[in-house]
Amino acid sequence: MAIVIKDLNYIYGAGTVFEKQGLKDINLTIEDGEFIGIIGRTGSGKSTLIQHLNGLNVPASGTILYNGEDIYKKGYSKKKLRSKVGLVFQYPEYQLFETTVLSDVRFGPKNIGMSAEEADRSAKEALSMVGIHEDMYNASPFELSGGEKRRAAIAGVLAMKPEVLVLDEPTAGLDPKGKNEILELIDKLHKNDGVTIVLVSHSMEDVAKYAERIAVINDGEIFACGTPREIFSRYKELEKIGLSAPQTVYLLNELKSIGYDVDTGIITPDEAVKEILMHTAQTAYTEGI
């Protein structure tokens, strides 16, 4: 029971003409060690929601429990929370500021009270994890390519060794290769190191492939929550709120509608290939071809 979000309401610009309900009665539990995907169209409130997880946004009502403790309680250390719940912002490359890549990655660990050596070790570990080579440690972060900047910025959060890693569209604007590298890195952190992952994305394929559970947000409210299979079986509803399902879901549904008895709950391409091959083999066998 890592993070429990309870009846959370958030209002932008409270008390002005610009007042806008950002989030409405959000209830969601993020279990220890799980990989949860958060999807929703642009402006649905995904970023607003995850900025509550480490106490950056303060809700109008409702609260969040982290390991059973209310994070908005007086005296609860936000700094400690932020060392446990790492948040990677959308386009994190804009937060780089130090003179060298290494010192930028060390910024977080040093802030949360790691000793100089510890911070150094942790920073180097994080950089090698995201695939930034030692040659680049002393380069200015502003000299890196777009993809490298992104990875350096992610390393800046990883170096704090969070228990929960929250990522806001970490692959937005990257090429397919850079995108896969980052997703594989996140998956590895989850599988090998047991880090709880909260991945905000608007790529249905990505969440379908990696997430164990998906929460769908629409207009600041939780629209649905469940396994990828459950969520994407409701693809018609998803379309109504500006989302879609992975291509495989459409393919299998199409096959079913023209008479092939395939499992339409399958969502990843690999499984779909297997299902189709098996089905063809079966048909071939039964029809004696």
Partner 1 sequence: MLRDITIGQYYPTGSVIHKLDPRVKLAGTFLFIISIFTFKNYPGYIVSLIYLGMVIFISKVPLKHILKGIKPIIFLMVFTAVIHLFFTSGDDILFEFYAVKITYAGLKKAVFIIVRLLFLITGSAIMTYTTTPNQLTEGIEKAFGPLNKAHIPVHEFALMMSIALRFIPILMEEADKIIKAQSSRGADFEEGNIIKRISGIVSILIPLLVSAMERAKDLALAMDARCYHGGEGRTKMKPLRYTAKDYISYGIILVYMVTSVAAGRFI
Ligand X SMILES: Nc1ncnc2c1ncn2[C@@H]1O[C@H](COP(=O)(O)OP(=O)(O)O)[C@@H](O)[C@H]1O
Per CB under 6 A, residues contacting ligand X are 12-13, 20, 22, 40, 42-48
Give how far the C-alpha of residue 261 lies from the chain's centroid of Cα atoms, to the nearest Å: 34
Shortest Å distance, C-beta 190 to partner 1? 20
The residues that bridge with 63 in the sheet, in sequence order, are 6
Give the residue from 88, 172, 173 showing the smallest Cα distance to 130.
Answer: 88
108 binds, among Mg ion, partner 1, ligand X, none (CB under 5 to 8 A by kind): partner 1
Shortest Å distance, C-beta 44 to Mg ion? 9
122 binds, among partner 1, Mg ion, ligand X, none (CB under 5 to 8 A by kind): none
170 versus 246: smaller Cβ distance to Mg ion? 170
Tokens encoding 241: 């709120």
Shortest Å distance, C-beta 286 to ligand X? 48
DSSP secondary structure of 222-264:
EEEEE-HHHHHHTHHHHHHTT----HHHHHHHHHHHTT----T
Question: Is there binding between residue 20 and partner 1 (CB under 8 A)?
Answer: no
Q: Using the rule CB under 8 A, which residue among 2, 39, 64, 87 binds partner 1?
A: 87
Helix (H, G, I), strand (E, B) or coil at 73: coil
Shortest Å distance, C-beta 198 to ligand X? 13
Shortest Å distance, C-beta 265 to partner 1? 37
Shortest Å distance, C-beta 238 to partner 1? 29
CA–CA gap between residue 111 and residue 95 (Å, rounded): 15
Residues 6+ apart with CB under 8 A from 114: 122
Are the C-beta atoms of residues 147 and 174 closer than 8 Å to each other? yes
With tokens 């309680």, the residue in question is 73
CA–CA gap between residue 165 and residue 189 (Å, rounded): 9
Question: Is there binding between residue 94 and partner 1 (CB under 8 A)?
Answer: yes
Span interacting with partner 1, options 67-75, 88-96, 231-239, 275-283, rule CB under 8 A: 88-96
Tokens encoding 222: 């939780």
Question: Is there binding between residue 164 and partner 1 (CB under 8 A)?
Answer: no
Q: Identify residue 93 by its one-letter amino acid code.
A: E
105 versus 245: smaller Cβ distance to partner 1? 105
Number of residues that bind partner 1 (CB under 8 A): 27
CA–CA gap between residue 7 and residue 27 (Å, rounded): 5
Question: Is there binding between residue 122 and partner 1 (CB under 8 A)?
Answer: no
Question: Is there binding between residue 43 and partner 1 (CB under 8 A)?
Answer: no
Span interacting with partner 1, options 81-89, 180-188, 239-247, 272-280, rule CB under 8 A: 81-89
95 binds, among Mg ion, ligand X, partner 1, none (CB under 5 to 8 A by kind): partner 1
Question: Is there binding between residue 253 and partner 1 (CB under 8 A)?
Answer: no
Tokens encoding 169: 């569209």
Helix (H, G, I), strand (E, B) or coil at 125: helix
123 versus 214: smaller Cβ distance to ligand X? 214
CA–CA gap between residue 35 and residue 199 (Å, rounded): 8
Residues that bind partner 1 (CB under 8 A): 13, 15-17, 51, 54, 56, 78-79, 82-83, 86-87, 89, 92, 94-97, 107-108, 111-112, 142, 156-157, 160
